[in-house]
Structure 1
Amino acid sequence: MFIFDAHLDLAMNAMEWNRDLTWSVEDIRAKEEGMIDKPDRGKNTVSLGAMRRGNIGLCMATQIARYVKKENELPGWNSPHQAWAQTQGQLAWYRAMEAIGEMVQITNLAELNNHLDLWNSLGNSKNPIGYILSLEGADSIITLDHLEKSYEQGLRAIGPAHYGPGTYAHGTNSIGGIGRKGKELLKEIARLNIILDTTHLCDESFWETMKAYHGP
């Protein structure tokens, strides 16, 4: 059975946790034995090889970098420019995986169909993992021009907020609406035909978004 995983933070694991996802799950866990810098060291659950063995041939692969204002106690980057740079570093990792045949970016229906045909024609041990690029939390979108640039880079899904208050909406464990900036972002998301991911929106932001948004 071909499996589509709807959410994987692959680049964050590679760039922030320093996990080489071309290794096996077991090797990554062994490398992290005794490390205490992050709470879930030694408990990773995914690698590219493990995905192939499980017939997970396609995933929504995230970019994620929260911008936090001075009063926000959540972990994150202290400016949207730093957050943008972090997402660009994550994108560079996906590109590096493409260059060595480990992954392939999917941006349209033709590419999806080609990928499915390839997966069906080769043994899964040889196939690249297909990925659809998703941005989890839009704080790294400094201006709407940055969203269009992200689209040109292959971004096909976006969540306006992650945890806490964000630039464009309020996310998990926070209270508030989307405001003017959020509505402007939604218009641009719809214009570019990017998929809107509402997973982390708090209730108020979610219902305001449902009234304001007219895209996929």
Structure 2
Amino acid sequence: MLIVDAHLDLAMNALEWNRDLTRSIEEIRSRERGMTDRPDRTRGTVSFGEMRSGGVGLCVATQIARYATPGHPLPGWHSPEQAWAHTQGQLAWYRTMEERGELVQIRDRESLDRHLDGLSRSSTEDREQPIGYILSLEGADSLVTLRHLERSFEMGLRAVGPAHYGPGVYAQGTNASGGIGSRGRELLREIERLGMILDVTHLCDDSFREALDHFHGPVWASHSNCRSLVPHNRQFSDDQLRELIAR
């Protein structure tokens, strides 16, 4: 059985947490013993081997870098240009994993069909079979200009989430409030023009409402839950979920 994981911060784990995902999960955890720089050391759950063992043959893999303006409540880069450069380092890691044969980028229907055909001919646990990934940008702060979005599309980016946690350049995210504004509307028009997917995960209620009013292309919520079950603004209300289903 093929499992699709709709959200994995693979490059962030590799570069910010210094986790070699080509190693076993036991090795990754072992190398983190005694480390205290991050709260979840020795608790990693993802490696390429674990993905294959679990039958995950396709995933949505992210680029992520926040731009933190002065007074921003969360840590981040001090300029959009720095954030952009960080996402390009993450892209370089994905390319390196492609060269190694661990990953294959899914850019269109043809590459998806080719990958699924390969999976159907072998076990998803086959260590020689690369894992397919669809590249997604979580939080659009790193897009210095809209031209940077077009460049990213040319490099294989296929989905964009305008916001992450807190206030953002193009939209307001989890624990923030407010709409998307003129820059957000310009971003949505460009996402739609390029035929990309809008990821509404992390959008606060106001930005969610405005985004769906202005965007007419494909939409997904890659990693969200039901607010009625998990009562927090990070999750979606029943009305929001119904609207997403209708789209």
TM-score range, shorter chain: over 0.9
**Cα deviation per residue 1:44-96 (whole Å; 9 max; x = unaligned)?**
01000110111100000000001010110301111100000000000000000
Partner residue of 1:14?
Answer: 14
Matches within 5 A, 1:13-162: 13-123=13-123, 124-162=126-164
Q: What SS class does the counterpart of residue 162 from structure 1 fall into? A: coil
Using the TM superposition, give the Cα deviation of residue 125 of structure 1 relative to its aligned residue in structure 2, in angstroms.
Answer: 2.4
8 A contact 1:169–1:205 mirrored in 2: yes
8 A contact 1:7–1:60 mirrored in 2: yes
Q: How many residue pairs are counted as aligned between the two chains?
A: 216
Q: What SS class does the counterpart of residue 93 from structure 1 fall into? A: helix
- Take 1:212 and 1:52, find their aligned partners in 2: how far apart are those partners? 39
Q: Name the aligned partner's letter for residue 165 of structure 1.
A: P
8 A contact 1:87–1:140 mirrored in 2: yes
Using the TM superposition, give the Cα deviation of residue 119 of structure 1 relative to its aligned residue in structure 2, in angstroms.
Answer: 1.1
- Take 2:115 and 2:73, find their aligned partners in 1: how far apart are those partners? 42
Q: What SS class does the counterpart of residue 13 from structure 1 fall into? A: helix
Regions of 4+ moved over 6 Å: none
Q: Name the aligned partner's letter for residue 180 of structure 1.
A: S
- Take 2:80 and 2:60, find their aligned partners in 1: how far apart are those partners? 23
8 A contact 2:66–2:141 mirrored in 1: yes
Using the TM superposition, give the Cα deviation of residue 126 of structure 1 relative to its aligned residue in structure 2, in angstroms.
Answer: 1.8
Partner residue of 1:183?
Answer: 185
**Cα deviation per residue 1:123-143 (whole Å; 9 max; x = unaligned)?**
322210100000000000000
Using the TM superposition, give the Cα deviation of residue 166 of structure 1 relative to its aligned residue in structure 2, in angstroms.
Answer: 0.3
8 A contact 1:144–1:185 mirrored in 2: yes
Partner residue of 1:164?
Answer: 166
- Take 2:120 and 2:52, find their aligned partners in 1: how far apart are those partners? 13
- Take 1:66 and 1:141, find their aligned partners in 2: how far apart are those partners? 10
**Cα deviation per residue 1:120-163 (whole Å; 9 max; x = unaligned)?**
11232221010000000000000000000000000000100000
Give TM-score, length-normalised by structure 1: 0.99
Q: What SS class does the counterpart of residue 112 from structure 1 fall into? A: helix
For the aligned residue pairs, the C-alpha RMSD in angstroms reads 0.6
Q: Name the aligned partner's letter for residue 88 of structure 2.
A: Q
- Take 1:90 and 1:109, find their aligned partners in 2: how far apart are those partners? 24
In structure 1, runs of 5+ residues without a counterpart are none
8 A contact 1:168–1:181 mirrored in 2: yes
Q: What SS class does the counterpart of residue 37 from structure 2 fall into? A: coil
Q: What SS class does the counterpart of residue 141 from structure 1 fall into? A: coil
Partner residue of 2:217?
Answer: 215
Partner residue of 2:205?
Answer: 203
8 A contact 2:170–2:183 mirrored in 1: yes
Give TM-score, length-normalised by structure 2: 0.86
Using the TM superposition, give the Cα deviation of residue 196 of structure 1 relative to its aligned residue in structure 2, in angstroms.
Answer: 0.2
Q: Name the aligned partner's letter for residue 171 of structure 1.
A: G
Q: What SS class does the counterpart of residue 199 from structure 1 fall into? A: coil
- Take 2:42 and 2:178, find their aligned partners in 1: how far apart are those partners? 37
- Take 1:184 and 1:202, find their aligned partners in 2: how far apart are those partners? 18
Q: What SS class does the counterpart of residue 67 from structure 1 fall into? A: coil
Q: What SS class does the counterpart of residue 17 from structure 2 fall into? A: coil
